[in-house]
Each structure stands twice: as C-alpha cells, then as structure tokens.
C-alpha cells in the first residue's frame, strides 16, 4: 500500500523540513488538502503552498481539492507543481468535462466521494479516473474518527476496478491509523492518506511511518 502524508497536520513553521522528513521516512506521496470555506467549513491552503511543497521534495504531490467550481483552479494547481488533482464528485456537475480538463493538463485525475455519496456517482466515468477516493471521514478537518461504514464502498469500488480490468488507485483519507489502515487494505485500498497518524503521534515521523507500514504488512 502506498502512503501519502497529509501536510494538513504538519507544523507549518517547518513545512519544508517536515516534508523532507516524510520523504526520508519512505512516504510515497505528499497529500495537500485545499479547502475553500464553501465546499467544506474550513479554509486551508492554495497554489502558493503547493509551489513551496514542490520545491521541498521530489515525491509526487497529491492535491485534494475540497472546493466548489474546481474547474477554475485546475490550471493554477497544475502550474504550481501538482502531480495528481482530485476533485469532489459533489462539486462537479460536469464531472466528465472536469476529468477531461485534468487529463489535458497531463495530471493524474482523482475523484473523491463523501461518506454519504454512493459509489454509483462515479460509475459512468471509472475509466477516466486514475484514482478514486472514498472519504473515510466527512471532509473539512484533520484528526477525525474513521467511519467504518465506508468500508463497503471501498470494497465495491475496488471490485468494479478489478472487474473492468482498470488500473485505478483506491485511496482512503481520514482517521487512518495503525488500527484502521489494515481494514482498508483488506477492503481493497491501495493508497492511505495519513495526517495525524504521521505528524501528531508523539513519535518521530520515521517511527510513525514505520508503524503504519508494519500495520498493513500482513493485512
């Protein structure tokens, strides 16, 4: 399973250092949560921070857009150095076109689904996605509790991907810790996004990453 470290939980006074520590610890991707105070009740970061992260690491930048009308900002985030752009299906009335735009920018296209959104919402565009992200918390904040009810959707999406012989990552995001990560792997997840479980454990970043890896080693 790949590990994407979510910098939402990082110490922003030392962001570059913390990203470098994630890379040294063997994280696979850096996950960047963009929130606009409209799609979710919180405001976080924009292209400026993506651009700073780009200068701190060679790891792929996995940008999660929790914003309304993401189509207006895709080019800005691509320009800032994003490798993957994930939009929320609920924010995209013209999802097919939005995915086309991401592809035209040469980026990996991701679709996130809120806990209340059924898997069928992405059924018609599965073959256009590089990544599906069934959210395991309601988006907006780090440090929330994992919602086990989402596991069936992880299983359903990974079954569809296998049946159609697609090469699509299934990412989980929210409340991922050594206790919950193995459940998501068993359900078919291929990428875990981890914020608190990397940056706020009381352990070093390296120890936290190792503990997460260990937890899924034989799941």
Return residues touching Zn ion (CB under 5 A). Answer: 33, 64, 173
Cα angle 213-180-65, degrees, rounded to a multiple of 5: 85
d(CA 22, CA 129): 26
**Nearest partner of 137 among 129, 128, 127, 148, judged by Cα:** 148
Residues 12-41 that bind ligand DX5 (CB under 6 A): 31, 33
**Between 160 and 199, CB nearer to ligand DX5:** 199
Tokens of residue 126, six digits = 């599965």
Say which residue the tokens 């890896």 belong to: 213
Residue 197: name its binding partner from Zn ion, ligand DX5, none (Cβ under 5 to 8 Å by kind): ligand DX5
- Asked if 122 contacts 138 with a C-beta cutoff of 8 angstroms, the reply is no
Query: Is 33 an annotated catalytic residue?
Result: yes
Using rule CB under 6 A, residue 139 touches ligand DX5? yes
**Between 167 and 176, CB nearer to ligand DX5:** 176
- Asked if 166 contacts 127 with a C-beta cutoff of 8 angstroms, the reply is yes
Contact region for ligand DX5 (CB under 6 A) — 5-13, 54-62, 78-86, 158-166? 5-13
- Least distance (Å) from ligand DX5 to the CB of residue 90? 13
The Cβ of residue 37 has, within 10 Å, a number of other Cβ atoms equal to: 13
Query: Is 173 an annotated catalytic residue?
Result: yes
The catalytic residue among 36, 130, 169, 173 is 173
Binding residues for ligand DX5 (CB under 6 A) = 6, 8-9, 31, 33, 64, 137, 139-140, 142-144, 173-176, 193-197
Q: Which residues are catalytic?
A: 33, 173
């Amino acid at each position: 399973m790949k590990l994407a470290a979510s910098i939402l939980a990082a110490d922003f006074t030392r962001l570059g250092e913390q990203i470098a520590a994630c890379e040294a610890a063997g994280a696979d991707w850096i996950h960047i949560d963009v929130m606009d105070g409209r799609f979710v009740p919180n405001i976080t970061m924009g292209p400026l921070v993506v651009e700073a992260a780009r200068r701190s690491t060679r790891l792929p930048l996995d940008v999660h857009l929790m914003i309304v009308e993401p189509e207006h900002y895709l080019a800005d985030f691509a320009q800032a150095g994003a490798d993957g752009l994930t939009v929320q299906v609920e924010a995209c009335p013209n999802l097919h076109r939005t995915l086309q735009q991401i592809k035209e920018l040469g980026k990996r296209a991701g679709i996130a689904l809120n806990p209340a959104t059924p898997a069928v919402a992405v059924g018609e565009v599965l073959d256009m996605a590089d990544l599906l992200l069934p959210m395991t918390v309601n988006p907006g904040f780090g440090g929330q509790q994992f919602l086990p009810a989402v596991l069936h959707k992880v299983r359903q999406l990974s079954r569809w991907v296998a049946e159609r012989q697609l090469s699509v990552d299934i990412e989980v995001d929210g409340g991922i810790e050594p206790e919950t990560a193995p459940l998501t792997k068993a359900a078919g997840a291929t990428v875990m996004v981890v914020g608190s479980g990397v940056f706020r454990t009381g352990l070093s970043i390296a120890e936290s990453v190792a503990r997460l890896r260990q937890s899924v080693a034989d799941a």
